[in-house]
Structure 1
Amino acid sequence: MPPYTAPVRDTLFVLNDVLGYERYSNLPGFADASPDILEAILGESAKLTENIILPTNRAGDLEGCTRHEDGSVTTPKGFREAFDEYRQGGWLGLAAPAEFGGQGLPYAVHTAVSEYMISGNMALLMYAGLTQGAIAAIVTHGSDEQKSTWLPKMVDGTWTGTMNLTEPHAGTDLGLLRTKAVPADDGSYKISGQKIFISAGEHDMADNIVHLVLARIEGAPEGTKGISLFIVPKFLLDVSGNPGTRNGVSCGSLEEKMGIHGNATCVMNYDGATGWLLGEANGGLKAMFTMMNEARLGVGLQGLAMGEAAYQGAVAYAKDRLQGRSLSGAKEPDKKADPIIVHPDIRRILMTMRSVNEAGRALALWTALKSDIAHRSPDEKDRQAADDLLGLMTPVVKGVLTDKGFEHAVMAQQVFGGHGYIEENGMSQYVRDARIAMIYEGANGIQALDLVGRKLPMHGGRAVQAFFKEVGDFCEANRSDEKMAPFTKALKKGLNDLQAATMWLVQNAMTKPDNAGAASTDYLNLFGLVALGYMWGQMVKAAQDKLAAGAGDSASFYETKVVTGRYFMERVMPETSAHLARISTGSDTMMALPAEAF
């Protein structure tokens, strides 16, 4: 099992020194997680991850889940015990509303601890992640009765939740779905149909599973305008509110998957199952997007978490593996060879992973903080500005961090050489697990189209212009600081490339939509590089301020930040130019060949 240590100090640096966590103490929940309590929470979550969650990862991959003849599913060895520890610690309800039994702490704190736990065992934490998304949907769209009925047991982890969208013939195009809902006399509905790729659809770790299911009420309009969302529990509740009669929903089979073997990815069959409308009739997509947007940020976090776990494994191996001699002379002459960490190409891999991971962590926490402001600030303008940026950054966080997470898993595997191809060393599991994050909750190509087609023009481009201004203002404010010059210059160049790409889309996409589609993936990645670069600008500024004030024993930590940030600006940030060049070619060559030529 590869080693993993939760990056608590790095998280605290980002939250406290970079993002100014204490400035938000006036917002609900923040006062309950003051800096000293925040540090304690992160420390406890690190212990849970390293001692309880991480040891289950290997077994989960090897054993997978087992479906029995009666449709029940058994999770791998150690999963139930680990989930019980997680549940009893109140971790599932960390950021959930206190009125339903949660702790009401900031989403930024939830994001920080979730990164560690996902690194420990991504498949296990998916059971909790789907539940948290379902909680958010019910909190936002449920009636008072639905909230009081379902939320307390979901918040404490006694019951878990799922989201049921995909059908065999309908993936991203949800307007094609066929699952139907027939009204019953008592106000409920009878749900019939089949859903596929349902993560955590059936398992043995909770007393009940609350499925949120998209279906079409009989007589509803065709397409997405006729879709509704329903609460469909595994067990119907008795008069005391406890699980009673089994509902007409079952796991027909488990998908045989490339990775995340420890999570039960189910084919779910609904045979006249009893369900209750969540939100308005024919308003299912609006309600489901509450869950999906949270899930997309969570999947972006999965990309970061896998990339960090893979990076740490690669570093440990690179320090231990002896192979060849340093090009500049033997570094350990008393041994037959030097550790491979002395070789520039190994350093290239490790520094690339490290520099992107650290910026990715800052981006995830910055976005989570925007969510807190959007939902908790008493100032309407602050809420609106934060919500604008949250919407803009959601496809970027999901798409870019999962792309990078998979790339980093592959890069870490490369550090191991042949040993990376051997299952027992753990790198291949990271590769297989990280790959799904690029696909589910909207494949990354869809995220790119969402960014270009929906998020850029939304509200007349208000969000993207605010982002451009924020990054530009940062560069201008630090332009005269000689120590910041290498960082602001590179960031400004990336921002100029992003603004040029945006202008190209404005001028060329409306008259020829294929230009937008052809540019979208490059634009997403260009946007992501600038966002990551902006995070590095802020981190380096904070680190240099600490050094200037006299960092004492912490000096090496801040000096390492500066060097890592410089690497990003010199070796990663220049990729913005290549993305701009590709965007500017348009779609002509891409779309020129007839289908039969392929």
Structure 2
Amino acid sequence: MADALSRRDLEFLLYEWLDVESLTTRPRFAEHSKETFDAVLELSADIATSRFAPVNHLGDANEPYVGDDGRVVLPEEITSGITEFLKAGLIAGTFDEELGGMQLPAVVARASQAWFQAANAAMSSYAFLSIGNANLLTEYGTPEQIDTWVKPIVEGRYFGTMCLSEPQAGSSLADITTKAVPADDGTYRITGTKMWISAGDHEIGENIVHLVLAKAPGGGPGVKGISLFIVPKFLPDGTRNDVALVGLNHKMGNRATTNCLLNFGDGTFAPPAHSVPGAVGYLVGEEHQGLSYMFHMMNEARIGVGFLATTIGYAGYLASLEYAKVRTQGRPVDQKDPESKPIPIIEHADVKRMLLAQKSYVEGALALGLYCSKLVDLQQTGDDAERERAGLLLDVLTPITKSWPSQWCLEANNLAIQVHGGYGYTREFPVEQYYRDNRLNPIHEGAHGIHGLDLLGRKVIMRGGAGLQLLVETIGETLTRAAAQPALAAYADDLRSRVETLVATTAKVWSTGDPALALANATAYLEAAGHLVIGWMWLEQLLAAGDKSGDFYDGKRAAAQYFFRYELPKTAAQFELLAALDRTTLDTDPAWL
């Protein structure tokens, strides 16, 4: 079995490019060193390889189900593997030492998590959703809430979820109907239904801490009325809260992650004696500010989904690379002797094309994810100017970091199947499962089109265009350095021209003053901008590689060359469509479809 991730690539990105060792000069990370970072990464690789990867297919073939007693049943190997991860303390990576955490940089913790995501996407989700849950509560919870709910998550005893969507609302959170009614003891009673709740019920830990969006009285219509509540499966005294599993959704991929329909306050479990029925909820922060709080977890989860898509694509790439090296078939096109020996398929030009495409997608996406993770560290530990800059750049990059890997690392999985030929779509090889697992990610944490609307409708125009200006300036710094290198000057000129087109196109689509027209082709904008950003990531990697020799560095140069010659030109047609203010989608009558 091929490794699910490349240690060499991670080392290059972390140490030769991002220089994460320099973070140890900051007070928050002063107790760390390259040795502690390496130890965490080595431990992560070992547990992921020994306990997660071997049961990836098992979890796919044996979905969770609800037993006769109403409890979720998972394969024992899934539970024990997750328990091993928790015992190693890896869930505590980025948390403060006073909470029992390691106080690792986010970029190192993400690299650690990437091993588990690549080895077994479904298993990884239980713990990583819990991390996001605990991070939100650490930011906005009271000291009592942190003691009660966060510390047990960091200890590996509790798990956490986020409960946003509802059957009738989907991504339209303004239309949620879950209600929160104040009780006379300072808590609230929550009633309603939540759908698509990953890791929403299971028996792995002692408790599950749900973060639930609900509407409290007096908040007004739409998202302004939304508040955020802690609604645990079990109350602090051990009483079962009125949170009921209605059923499990049956997904095409990530099958070992439970995906649940949950009812809150339907009377399935007898609530504590009180005049107000419903599940007991504890308000986080202030009433009617819930969506702004939840964005803390949502944005973290969006980067996490981008990582998940990247790592599944990476696992498929490495599997198809290994297969191409050992599978013999056909002969060189200029070899006409039918009695000559077949050659490994990796020697065929078209197979190399498919492998280069995968390599350019997954290694470019991994670079972007780690770059954004370092921005989180700079935002947390920098001075005011650095924090402001890192936060603004992260805002602009988040929709791309979520959606570009979800689209193109899925395409990497598609190509991995193609490299395998007929074997690729059989269950005897892992690449068909990788594709199914990854197909969920263009929908997870906001569908592809939603992030196009977010990027073009919010992020690049916010604060008078400051976000786009900062992105262009930051890419420009890279272009200046690259232009001074003869081997990279042509790449720099190409990317500079396309960045200028991005700026001009952004102005053009908003010049009409018609938001519907401006946003009609927001998905094309997202995809074109994403390609430019990945081109930037490849130029950064080429600068880090410098004139170093060896197959690893030559492989970086080949993948970058592929991306600039085969992929970046695709943006021309997208920018042309955008600049034309095409109305095809707006003017199509639904009756015609």
**Superposition TM-score tier, normalisation by shorter sequence:** over 0.9
Alignment partners' CA distance in 2, 1:80 and 1:155: 18
Q: 2:205 aligns to what?
A: 206
Measured against aligned partners, the alpha-carbon deviations of 1:329-363 in whole angstroms (never above 9, x if no partner) come to: 499x9973112111111111110110121111111
Shift of 1:122: 0.6
Q: 2:104 aligns to what?
A: 105
Give 1:312's aligned amino acid: L
Give 2:47's aligned amino acid: L
Q: 1:57 aligns to what?
A: 56
Q: Does 1:572 align with 2:567?
A: yes
Q: Does 1:422 align with 2:421?
A: no
Q: 2:295 aligns to what?
A: 289
Shift of 1:328: 4.1
Maintained 8 Å contact 1:497/1:576: no
Maintained 8 Å contact 1:385/1:463: no
- Identify the match of residue 520 of structure 1 among 519, 522, 537: 522
Q: Does 1:337 align with 2:342?
A: yes
Alignment partners' CA distance in 2, 1:246 and 1:80: 22
Structure 1 residues 33 and 356: CA distance shift in structure 2, 3 A: farther
Give 2:554's aligned amino acid: E
Identical counterparts, % of pairs: 37
Structure 1 residues 50 and 330: CA distance shift in structure 2, 3 A: farther
Shift of 1:98: 1.6
Alignment partners' CA distance in 2, 1:330 and 1:210: 66
Deviation larger for 78-87 or 68-77: 68-77
Shift of 1:28: 4.0
Structure 1 residues 330 and 121: CA distance shift in structure 2, 3 A: farther
Give 1:327's aligned amino acid: V
Measured against aligned partners, the alpha-carbon deviations of 1:426-459 in whole angstroms (never above 9, x if no partner) come to: 2221111101110021111101100011111112
Structure 1 residues 330 and 22: CA distance shift in structure 2, 3 A: farther
Deviation larger for 321-330 or 573-582: 321-330
Alignment partners' CA distance in 1, 2:467 and 2:419: 40
Measured against aligned partners, the alpha-carbon deviations of 1:81-138 in whole angstroms (never above 9, x if no partner) come to: 1011100111111112222111111100111111121010111111012101111110
Measured against aligned partners, the alpha-carbon deviations of 1:130-154 in whole angstroms (never above 9, x if no partner) come to: 1011111101110111011111111
Q: 2:268 aligns to what?
A: none
Maintained 8 Å contact 2:5/2:318: no
Counting only pairs closer than 5 Å after superposition, residues 43-82 of structure 1 correspond to structure 2 as: 43-82=42-81
Q: 1:322 aligns to what?
A: 328
Helix, strand or coil at the partner of 1:423: coil
Maintained 8 Å contact 1:71/1:250: no
Give 1:371's aligned amino acid: V
Maintained 8 Å contact 1:253/1:266: yes
Helix, strand or coil at the partner of 2:86: helix
Structure 1 residues 388 and 235: CA distance shift in structure 2, 3 A: same
Structure 1 residues 335 and 273: CA distance shift in structure 2, 3 A: farther
Counting only pairs closer than 5 Å after superposition, residues 363-512 of structure 1 correspond to structure 2 as: 363-377=368-382, 379-508=383-512, 511-512=513-514
Maintained 8 Å contact 2:520/2:583: no
Q: Does 1:307 align with 2:300?
A: no
Q: 1:352 aligns to what?
A: 357
Alignment partners' CA distance in 2, 1:269 and 1:83: 26
Alignment partners' CA distance in 1, 2:389 and 2:73: 45
Q: Which runs of 5+ in 2 are unaligned?
A: 266-277
Q: 1:241 aligns to what?
A: none
Structure 1 residues 159 and 217: CA distance shift in structure 2, 3 A: same
Shift of 1:580: 0.9
Q: 2:588 aligns to what?
A: 593
Alignment partners' CA distance in 1, 2:20 and 2:218: 51
- Identify the match of residue 249 of structure 2 among 255, 260, 263: 255
Counting only pairs closer than 5 Å after superposition, residues 89-104 of structure 1 correspond to structure 2 as: 89-104=88-103
Shift of 1:574: 1.5
Alignment partners' CA distance in 1, 2:190 and 2:288: 15
Q: TM-score, normalised by structure 2?
A: 0.95
Deviation larger for 519-528 or 388-397: 519-528
Alignment partners' CA distance in 1, 2:495 and 2:326: 36
Shift of 1:481: 2.1
Maintained 8 Å contact 2:161/2:199: yes
Q: How many residues align?
A: 581
Q: TM-score, normalised by structure 1?
A: 0.94
Structure 1 residues 52 and 504: CA distance shift in structure 2, 3 A: same
Maintained 8 Å contact 2:4/2:119: no
- Identify the match of residue 304 of structure 2 among 272, 286, 298: 298
Give 2:570's aligned amino acid: E
Q: Which runs of 5+ in 1 are unaligned?
A: 239-243
Alignment partners' CA distance in 1, 2:515 and 2:334: 53
Alignment partners' CA distance in 2, 1:220 and 1:68: 40
Shift of 1:556: 2.9
Maintained 8 Å contact 1:25/1:34: yes
Alignment partners' CA distance in 1, 2:21 and 2:3: 29
Give 1:535's aligned amino acid: M
Alignment partners' CA distance in 1, 2:335 and 2:480: 44
Maintained 8 Å contact 1:59/1:77: no
Shift of 1:30: 3.1
Shift of 1:38: 1.8
Measured against aligned partners, the alpha-carbon deviations of 1:477-522 in whole angstroms (never above 9, x if no partner) come to: 33232122232123223323322322222324xx222332223111
Maintained 8 Å contact 1:208/1:234: yes
Alignment partners' CA distance in 1, 2:336 and 2:309: 37
Give 1:363's aligned amino acid: L
Alignment partners' CA distance in 1, 2:49 and 2:335: 38
Maintained 8 Å contact 1:330/1:338: no
Give 2:349's aligned amino acid: P
Maintained 8 Å contact 2:199/2:258: yes
Alignment partners' CA distance in 2, 1:230 and 1:334: 72
Alignment partners' CA distance in 2, 1:481 and 1:488: 9
Deviation larger for 489-498 or 91-100: 489-498
Give 2:214's aligned amino acid: A
Counting only pairs closer than 5 Å after superposition, residues 1-80 of structure 1 correspond to structure 2 as: 3-80=2-79
